[in-house]
């Protein structure tokens, strides 16, 4: 699909004080809002929760990149201008999500430049053009000149709307986990369980949709039978932490894909991030050591005492259904393992093996299946995405080029070369940060900072603008 790209005859730029709505006060929403404020735009930043609400959810986890790659010079400048005594982590320090939030994201949100622009606990529910629905034939400059109507609910749930010249969607994906069941669909009972957890504190304490901190309530994990599902880095981290922290009990880790290869988690060649290298290598070793061939084997082992630590890893395995037994405080789960068939090599009379299914009870369930894009927010806008990864279509050529390069798809080293890649057919709409990468888990903040720079090149209409480079920063 060719994007109707703005060009010098039909620019999308508007001088300040044009209005910008930023959806999401996460790391990249804050950086984008700051950039806009430095340039004199009228910026409103909406967040459905507190500042950096998603980072807050996983804040006990360690980050893979050093602090150097987790902040902009502009952000540092804004914070130190206001509070010269502010102490930042060292540039090479490896910090946790909590340290990122406390030492940088929250102080940034509190600067005079941003504080007045922030609308926390304000959930954006829809963005549309003021006059043209998605299917309207108006394209190009005619469409771009139309404003955006942003509708949101305030902290009391009251609806409001206002018009904006530009919209920067930085709402992330963390609120939208993929399905827990086979093929990324829902496991039977999943939605009912999530609803039930709102009313049942015991269930809520046993169902973990974010990686748990095993050090917080060690007794809850002692001798417990735990089900972990997913192939995300969070799942890998969780399995490794469980092995490190929990001395007695069973963890059954289901991964949806084949795990026979020695690199279930592909190791990045000459990885510039030691923490990532350690995580990926340790996860692959753990899988190699603890891999079981079948669910039957896992069940046989379960019959034995749980006095010792036992970790079971199963590939091509899914959760198919799940319920909670409030009397016994247990999950009843149906698990399934399937055999992958190479249909091109299989003989004509090949009979597909049956799936293996078993029922098991668990004390804790940890969901680490990864996240996906919620397209509902902008469903009245033309926002083309790759049907495979759900990354922004404009970004796809840059990502494919990186995949084919010597760094083997390491998005940490991605250098966005083409500002065009940020454009959508909506002209003045930009999708930034984790959401622009769709389901791909390898988004990094330093790439988001490049997106912010490129988006503002279009917004201002100066294609060499780079505030990070040009502003005098102490």
Ligand X SMILES: Cc1cc2nc3c(=O)[nH]c(=O)nc-3n(C[C@H](O)[C@H](O)[C@H](O)COP(=O)(O)OP(=O)(O)OC[C@H]3O[C@@H](n4cnc5c(N)ncnc54)[C@H](O)[C@@H]3O)c2cc1C
Q: How far is the CB of 273 from ligand X (least distance, A)?
A: 8
Binders of ligand X in range 297-356 (CB under 6 A): none
Q: How far is the CB of 283 from ligand X (least distance, A)?
A: 14
Between 271 and 363, CB nearer to ligand X: 271
Q: Does 48 bind ligand X (CB under 6 A)?
A: yes
What is the C-alpha separation between 431 and 421, in angstroms, rounded?
11
Q: Does 433 bind ligand X (CB under 6 A)?
A: yes
In the set 310, 411, 445, 453, which binds ligand X (CB under 6 A)?
445
Q: How far is the CB of 312 from ligand X (least distance, A)?
A: 24
Between 154 and 361, CB nearer to ligand X: 154
Closest among 176, 256, 201, 229 to 366, alpha carbons compared: 229
Q: Does 46 bind ligand X (CB under 6 A)?
A: yes
Taken as a whole, the chain contains a residue count of 474
Q: Does 453 bind ligand X (CB under 6 A)?
A: no
How many residues sit in the footprint of ligand X (CB under 6 A)? 36
Tracing tokens 């609400």 back to the chain, one arrives at 53
Between 69 and 93, CB nearer to ligand X: 69
Binders of ligand X in range 221-280 (CB under 6 A): 234
What is the C-alpha separation between 83 and 79, in angstroms, rounded?
6
Question: Is the CB of residue 108 less than 8 Å from the CB of residue 75?
Answer: yes
Between 58 and 338, CB nearer to ligand X: 58
Q: Does 381 bind ligand X (CB under 6 A)?
A: no
CB hemisphere CA count around 421 (13 angstroms)? 25
Between 128 and 250, CB nearer to ligand X: 128
In the set 423, 434, 455, 465, which binds ligand X (CB under 6 A)?
434
Q: How far is the CB of 143 from ligand X (least distance, A)?
A: 23
Structure tokens at 254: 């289901």
Closest among 363, 289, 353 to 316, alpha carbons compared: 353
Question: Is the CB of residue 108 less than 8 Å from the CB of residue 389?
Answer: no
What is the C-alpha separation between 116 and 36, in angstroms, rounded?
13
Between 181 and 448, CB nearer to ligand X: 448
Structure tokens at 77: 């400048």
Between 234 and 259, CB nearer to ligand X: 234
Q: Does 67 bind ligand X (CB under 6 A)?
A: no
Q: How far is the CB of 9 from ligand X (least distance, A)?
A: 33
Binders of ligand X in range 350-379 (CB under 6 A): 377
Q: How far is the CB of 45 from ligand X (least distance, A)?
A: 9
Rg of the chain over all Cα atoms, to the nearest angstrom: 24
**In the 8-state DSSP scheme, what is residue 45?**
E
Question: Other C-beta atoms within 10 Å of 368: how many?
Answer: 23
Helices (H), 129-232: 140-144, 190-199, 201-206, 218-221
Between 69 and 301, CB nearer to ligand X: 69
Structure tokens at 118: 């922030």
In the set 4, 6, 21, 24, which binds ligand X (CB under 6 A)?
24
Q: How far is the CB of 392 from ligand X (least distance, A)?
A: 12
Q: Does 292 bind ligand X (CB under 6 A)?
A: no
Q: How far is the CB of 310 from ligand X (least distance, A)?
A: 26
Q: Does 174 bind ligand X (CB under 6 A)?
A: yes
Tracing tokens 């940060």 back to the chain, one arrives at 433
**Concatenated DSSP letters of 49-79:** SSTTHHHHHTTTSBPSS-GGGGS-HHHHHHH
Q: Does 172 bind ligand X (CB under 6 A)?
A: yes
Between 34 and 314, CB nearer to ligand X: 34
Question: Is the CB of residue 245 less than 8 Å from the CB of residue 222?
Answer: no
Between 4 and 55, CB nearer to ligand X: 55
SS (H, E, C) 172-199: CCCCCECCCCHHHCCCECHHHHHHHHHH
Question: Is the CB of residue 52 less than 8 Å from the CB of residue 105?
Answer: yes
**In the 8-state DSSP scheme, what is residue 127?**
E
Q: Does 53 bind ligand X (CB under 6 A)?
A: yes
List residues near ligand X by CB under 6 A: 23-29, 46-49, 52-55, 58, 61, 63-65, 69, 123-124, 170-172, 174-175, 234, 377, 433-434, 443-445, 448
């Amino acid at each position: 699909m060719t994007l109707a790209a703005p060009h010098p005859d039909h620019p999308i730029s508007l001088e300040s004080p044009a209005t910008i709505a930023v959806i999401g006060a996460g790391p990249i929403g804050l950086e984008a809002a700051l950039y806009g404020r430095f340039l004199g735009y009228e910026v409103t930043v909406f967040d459905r929760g507190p500042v950096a609400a998603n980072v807050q959810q996983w804040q006990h986890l360690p980050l893979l990149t050093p602090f150097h790659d987790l902040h902009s010079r502009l952000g540092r400048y804004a914070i130190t201008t206001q509070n010269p005594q502010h102490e930042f982590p060292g540039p090479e320090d490896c910090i946790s999500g909590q340290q990122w939030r406390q030492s940088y994201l929250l102080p940034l949100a509190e600067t005079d430049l941003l504080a007045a622009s922030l609308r926390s606990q304000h959930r954006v529910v829809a963005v549309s053009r003021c006059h043209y629905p998605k299917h309207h034939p108006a394209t190009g400059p005619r469409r771009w000149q139309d404003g955006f109507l942003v509708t949101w609910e305030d902290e009391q749930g009251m609806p409001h709307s206002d018009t904006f010249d530009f919209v920067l969607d930085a709402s992330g994906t963390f609120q939208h986990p993929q399905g827990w069941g086979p093929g990324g669909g829902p496991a039977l009972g999943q939605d009912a369980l999530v609803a039930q957890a709102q009313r049942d504190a015991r269930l809520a304490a046993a169902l973990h949709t974010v990686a748990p901190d095993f050090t917080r309530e060690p007794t809850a994990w002692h001798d417990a039978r735990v089900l972990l599902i997913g192939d995300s880095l969070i799942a890998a981290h969780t399995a490794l932490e469980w092995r490190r922290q929990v001395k007695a009990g069973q963890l059954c880790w289901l991964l949806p894909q084949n795990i026979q290869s020695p690199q279930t988690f592909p190791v990045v060649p000459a990885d510039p991030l030691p923490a990532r290298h350690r995580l990926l290598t340790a996860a692959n070793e753990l899988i190699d050591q603890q891999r079981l061939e079948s669910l039957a084997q896992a069940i046989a082992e379960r019959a034995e005492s749980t006095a010792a630590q036992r970790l079971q890893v199963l590939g091509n395995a899914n959760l198919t259904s799940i319920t909670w037994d409030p009397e016994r405080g247990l999950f009843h789960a149906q698990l399934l393992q399937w055999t992958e068939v190479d249909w091109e090599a299989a003989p004509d009379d090949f009979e597909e093996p049956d799936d293996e299914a078993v029922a098991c009870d668990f004390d804790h369930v940890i969901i680490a299946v990864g996240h996906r894009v919620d397209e509902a927010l902008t469903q009245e806008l033309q926002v083309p995405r790759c049907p495979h990864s759900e990354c922004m279509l404009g970004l796809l050529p840059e990502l494919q080029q990186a995949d084919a390069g010597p760094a083997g798809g390491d998005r940490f080293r991605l250098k966005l070369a083409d500002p065009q890649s940020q454009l959508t057919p909506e002209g003045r709409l930009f999708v930034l940060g984790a959401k622009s990468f769709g389901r791909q888990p390898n988004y990094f903040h330093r790439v988001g900072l490049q997106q912010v720079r490129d988006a503002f090149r279009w917004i201002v209409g100066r294609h060499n603008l780079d505030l990070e480079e040009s502003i005098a920063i102490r």
